Every structure is written in C-alpha cells, then in structure tokens.
Amino acid sequence: MQDPGPAPHVMRNADIDPKAEKRAEQQVAILFGLSGVSSLLLIYSYVFIASDVFVFIPVMGSQNVQQLGLGLGMSFSLLFLGLGAIHWAKKLMPETEVINHRHEFRSSDEDRDELVKTVKHAAAEVKLGRRSLIKRSLGFSLGLFALPPVLLLRDLGPLPKKQLETTNWKAGTRLVTDPGNRPILASDLEVGAVVQTLPEMPDETERLLSDIAKDPVLLIRIRAEEFQLSPEKLAMTHDGIIAFSKICSHMGCAVALYEQTTKHLLCPCHQSTFDVTRGAKVIFGPAARPLPQLDITVDEEGYLIARAPFNESVGPSYWERNSQ
C-alpha cells in the first residue's frame, strides 16, 4: 500500500492573522511572566519566611508557611514555564514536518554545515529575533528559575554552634503537660505514672518547632526504694519521680514506650532499651549513653520545676562526643 504522506497542512489563525499572532505572543509572555513571579514567591518564602512560623488555616490545621510557599512557588514556576512553552509551540512555531535521516556517528562535514544552515534558517523562521517580548519574558522566567537552586546552597551553613547543646530548661522552669500546658503537682503523680512534659513558657504560641524537637521530657514515678542510682543522680529525683530527656541518645527518635513491670523505656526506632531504675542506663540496642536526666524538685506550691538545666546535650551522641 502506498504511503499517503503527511496530512495536508492547515493554517492556524496566528499564521494568517497578525492580530491573532500578537495575541498568542502576549499569552505566551503572560505565562512566562507568571512563571517568573512564582519563582519570586519561592525565593521570598526561602529567604524571608522563618521556618518556625505557624499559621492556623481552617480545614488544614497548623501549616508551615515556608514549606507551603516553597512548594507552591516551585510548582507554579514549572507549570507556567511548561504551559508557556507548549502554547508558544502550538500557536507560533512553524509546523513544517522535518525528516531527520539517520547517519553513522559523526556526520560528514557537508552535513554538519547543512545542519548549521538549517538551525540558522529555523531560528530565522521562528522569528525569535523579532519576538522580543517572548525573548525577554522567557529570559526573565529562565533566569529566575535558575536562582533557587543556587539559593538552596545557603542550607549548607551556618554551623549550628551551641544550638544543639542547649534546651529551654532553666533553673526554676515549671514542668507542664504536653499537650495541655498545665503545671504538674508532684502529689498528683501516682506510682507508675508516666507524663510527657515541656518547659513552661510565658507565651505558649512562641514555642518553636526546634524547641519541641529538643525539650520533651518524660516524667516517671516509681517507688523511691527501687532506684539504683549514685547519690548525685538520686539527688536529681524528687520523691520517686525522675525526669529524662525523651530524645533518644542514639539518633534522636522519641523514646515513647514505657514498660511498667520492668521499668524499661524503649525507643521504637532501633529498640534501644533504657533502665529507669538505673538512671536510663542502656541495657540493649545501639544507643551509646543513657538518656540525659533533668534535675527536678518542687516549688513552694508543690509544682514540679527544674532545679538546673540539663548538664549534657540531649539527643544523639554524635554531636557532643566531647562531653562523654
């Protein structure tokens, strides 16, 4: 059967009507412009919105605004860039069918010269030189699109310095429930009780994500005579109540499982197991050191307070090996 060949060429509006051509050109420019504006949103979110900012958005709950801005900026930047390119190709680029013959690896010099001529000819046909609006908007869009990856290099620094070694626990800070933010009376804790706590803050809304990552403390009450602690560690407890950092000393997961009969705390990530009676000594798993113990006592009203900050870094051992 004979090859019917390509379908007859149908002229587009933009091919025959200069007004339609101008309109299509403006539409392409708008799409590239929107892509550039989206990249600006990404850059703004990255540079000017603090990563710890929260807003309450009904339906979605608390959202990290910075992450939202980065995601929307990147998505719309790519989307509008793609839409602009497609629209440009469909409405304005020449529709001539081109057959690309295969050649063995390196083409002959004649073919290469021919290719250069063809490219120049095609460039002339696309009229890029004349379409300065598209040229400028595309340059605007691509230029800004290339910026965010460079900006992201900022995440390589600066070094955290002392941030990883300090928490919000200070002498006199009350322990409050999490969630609930209520101070805890020592007399309210029965033997066997386990409570997750955070340091009380004057304004709860100022608590940052980075605080929540470092500050949680587990409060456990056992019978005082069950402790097998050095006098120094025993002095950091109050009437059978002992407080440990909840951040695993292996890789920083939340040590969330307490087995009341054995008095063991278990980290669900890699099964490090800590013995509460012996000051969270590691009895199984990859953790290299006990959970840091918080020195606690009660204030004149009977509420539990920290007597001093942690005397060692909380969390994974690898960033504070010097203090071991």
Contact residues toward ligand FES (CB under 6 A) are: 248, 250-251, 253, 267, 269-270, 272, 285-287
Cβ at position 165, least distance to ligand FES in Å: 19
Q: For ligand FES, which is the closer residue by CB, 91 or 289?
A: 289
Among 217, 312, 220, 311, residue whose Cα is nearest residue 264: 220
Cβ at position 74, least distance to ligand FES in Å: 31
Cβ atoms within 10 Å, residue 300: 5
Contacts of 268 (CB under 8 A, 6+ apart): 253, 256, 257
Among 257, 262, 295, 300, residue whose Cα is nearest residue 278: 262
Tokens representing 251 are: 């890789």
Cβ at position 270, least distance to ligand FES in Å: 3
Contact (Cβ atoms closer than 8 angstroms) between residue 292 and residue 312:
yes
Cβ at position 253, least distance to ligand FES in Å: 4
Q: For ligand FES, which is the closer residue by CB, 222 or 287?
A: 287
Q: For ligand FES, which is the closer residue by CB, 76 or 258?
A: 258
Q: For ligand FES, which is the closer residue by CB, 221 or 246?
A: 246
Q: For ligand FES, which is the closer residue by CB, 192 or 268?
A: 268
Task: Give the separation between CA 45 and CA 40, rounded to whole angstroms.
Answer: 8
Contact (Cβ atoms closer than 8 angstroms) between residue 35 and residue 42:
no
Cβ at position 252, least distance to ligand FES in Å: 6
For residues 253-266, one letter each, b for 16 or more C-beta atoms within 10 angstroms of the residue's C-beta and e for the rest, the string is bebbebeeeebbbb
Cβ at position 321, least distance to ligand FES in Å: 16
Q: For ligand FES, which is the closer residue by CB, 80 or 310?
A: 310
Q: For ligand FES, which is the closer residue by CB, 46 or 274?
A: 274
Cβ at position 259, least distance to ligand FES in Å: 15
Q: For ligand FES, which is the closer residue by CB, 36 or 315?
A: 315
Cβ at position 233, least distance to ligand FES in Å: 21
Task: Give the separation between CA 199 and CA 190, rounded to whole angstroms.
Answer: 21
Tokens representing 176 are: 């409050």
Contact (Cβ atoms closer than 8 angstroms) between residue 269 and residue 251:
yes
First and final C-alpha spacing in the chain: 84
Tokens representing 210 are: 């980075």
Distance of CA 9 to the CA centre of its chain: 51
